[in-house]
Amino acid sequence: MSATVIASARRLVVKVGSSLVTDEGRGLDHARLALWSAQIAGLTALGKEIVLVSSGAIAEGIKRLGWNKRPRALNELQAAAAVGQMGLIEAYERSFRSHGLHTAQVLLTHADLADRERYLNARSTLRTLLGLKVVPIINENDTVTTEEIKVGDNDTLGALVANLIEADALIILTDQAGLYTADPRKHPDAEFVHEAEAGAPQLEVMAGGAGSSVGTGGMLTKILAAKRAARSGAHTVIVSGREPDVLARLATGESLGTRLVARQAPLAARRQWLADHLQVSGRLLLDEGAARALSSQGKSLLPIGVIEVRGDFRRGAVVACVEPGGRDIARGLVNYSADEARRIARKPSTEIEQALGYVDEPELIHRDNLVLL
């Protein structure tokens, strides 16, 4: 991806990390928020549509509540998020208004994206806002989120939003220059990665994922976010937010940060929705033949290829398909409940009616309702 791809991108998701919007965690840095607002206003003046994913609510809430340190209890974190979100949006609204732009607050949880109807409603709302030249400011709804419905981090949220609105690019602004082949603080000979393919396995190793003992802070979540954004064809740039006028310079085609290219063709909307499920209702453990049929041959999943059924789910739920090595290889909408799936597992489709007393579909998951990961 040449740097001009970002320059030509029309629809962008910009994610700003906590270190770039807070005063070292002590509440919001209003001067920096004003800088981001000015830069985004400059992009909108060029005809670009911008969605902003911003951290900072909890830090601002802690300051407003007069607490000396970040609490550990979930209810206190949720209270801080509720208080701080008011300050975050108030500050952005004031800054963007000075540039003649309206803003909109959009709070999301994974549950909003996991439910098909809510997913489509969220997409419609965001597209409408962009059409009205409003800047949506998105954060996870920490006030109500629980472990079961949380997205987890704003890098992932940025990627999910990029997929949701079919953005051309995701820009992740951080306090690091980009990705290195190893942690430069520990390995002085580490090389800077200017460009790579999003989803390439070696990137996760560089960032401290599986197979590596090297960690570079939160870089792994950014690498995984780029991999997810690439599913809808969005390119990703991981770049330092400390660079002067970084967004304006990217918009002019300047080469900054690490560019992660989306090589694969965008997934169809329904399959993209399936792929975006961070949590699933259950897991189907497959034998080698079934795993190969799904991953290499584009086949449906038949009951005979399922070794074990894990979890409790209803018909129509999103479940993961797991290959013998333990890796999730696909997600799909299951045609039978967990109890029914257990009763027909390892059986040929011709025996479904005998096992259940009826037959709905011969496949446990039809290939039209399945997406490879």
The whole-number pLDDT of residue 216 equals 33
Highest mean pLDDT among 112-121, 132-141, 175-184: 132-141
Domain stops at, among 226, 252, 271: 271
The whole-number pLDDT of residue 4 equals 65
- Within this chain, do residues 192 and 224 fall inside the same structural domain, yes or no? yes
More confident residue, 298 or 39: 39
**pLDDT-derived band at 26, boundaries 50, 70, 90:** confident
Is the predicted pLDDT of residue 310 greater than 90, yes or no?
yes
- Within this chain, do residues 95 and 213 fall inside the same structural domain, yes or no? yes
Helix (H), strand (E), coil (C) string for the chain: CCCHHHHHCCEEEEEECHHHCECCCCCECHHHHHHHHHHHHHHHHCCCEEEEEECCHHHHHHHHCCCCCCCCCHHHHHHHHHHHHHHHHHHHHHHHHCCCCCEEEEEECHHHHHCHHHHHHHHHHHHHHHHCCCEEEEEECCCCCCCCCCCCCHHHHHHHHHHHHCCCEEEEEECCCCCECCCCCCCCCCCECCEEECCCHHHHHHCCCCCCCCCCCCHHHHHHHHHHHHHHCCEEEEEECCCCCHHHHHHCCCCCCEEEECCCCCCCHHHHHHHCCCCCCEEEEECHHHHHHHHCCCCCECHHHEEEEEECCCCCCEEEEECCCCCEEEEEECCCCHHHHHHHCCCCHHHHHHHHCCCCCCCCECHHHEEEC
- Assign residue 293 the CATH number of its domain: 2.30.130.10
- Within this chain, do residues 61 and 144 fall inside the same structural domain, yes or no? yes
- Within this chain, do residues 232 and 341 fall inside the same structural domain, yes or no? no
For all residues of the chain together, what is the average pLDDT?
Answer: 88
| Mean pLDDT value of segment 118-133 | 92
- Within this chain, do residues 69 and 146 fall inside the same structural domain, yes or no? yes
The whole-number pLDDT of residue 339 equals 95
- Within this chain, do residues 315 and 349 fall inside the same structural domain, yes or no? yes
The whole-number pLDDT of residue 246 equals 95
Domain stops at, among 271, 302, 333: 271
Is the predicted pLDDT of residue 18 greater than 90, yes or no?
no
Domain stops at, among 238, 253, 271: 271
- Within this chain, do residues 257 and 302 fall inside the same structural domain, yes or no? no
Is the predicted pLDDT of residue 148 greater than 60, yes or no?
no
- Assign residue 267 the CATH number of its domain: 3.40.1160.10
**pLDDT-derived band at 328, boundaries 50, 70, 90:** very high
Is the predicted pLDDT of residue 109 greater than 90, yes or no?
no
- Within this chain, do residues 267 and 288 fall inside the same structural domain, yes or no? no
| Mean pLDDT value of segment 123-141 | 93
The whole-number pLDDT of residue 84 equals 92
- Within this chain, do residues 344 and 210 fall inside the same structural domain, yes or no? no
- Within this chain, do residues 227 and 287 fall inside the same structural domain, yes or no? no
Question: In the chain, how many domains are there?
Answer: 2
- Within this chain, do residues 64 and 191 fall inside the same structural domain, yes or no? yes
* Structural domain boundaries enclosing 118: 4-271
pLDDT digits (tens, 9 = 90+) for 334-370: 999 999 999 999 999 999 999 999 988 899 999 888 9
pLDDT digits (tens, 9 = 90+) for 200-211: 888 988 876 543
- Within this chain, do residues 204 and 352 fall inside the same structural domain, yes or no? no
pTM, full prediction: 0.81
Give percent above pLDDT 90 in the chain.
59
Highest mean pLDDT among 19-28, 200-209, 323-332: 323-332
| Mean pLDDT value of segment 90-118 | 91
More confident residue, 182 or 331: 331
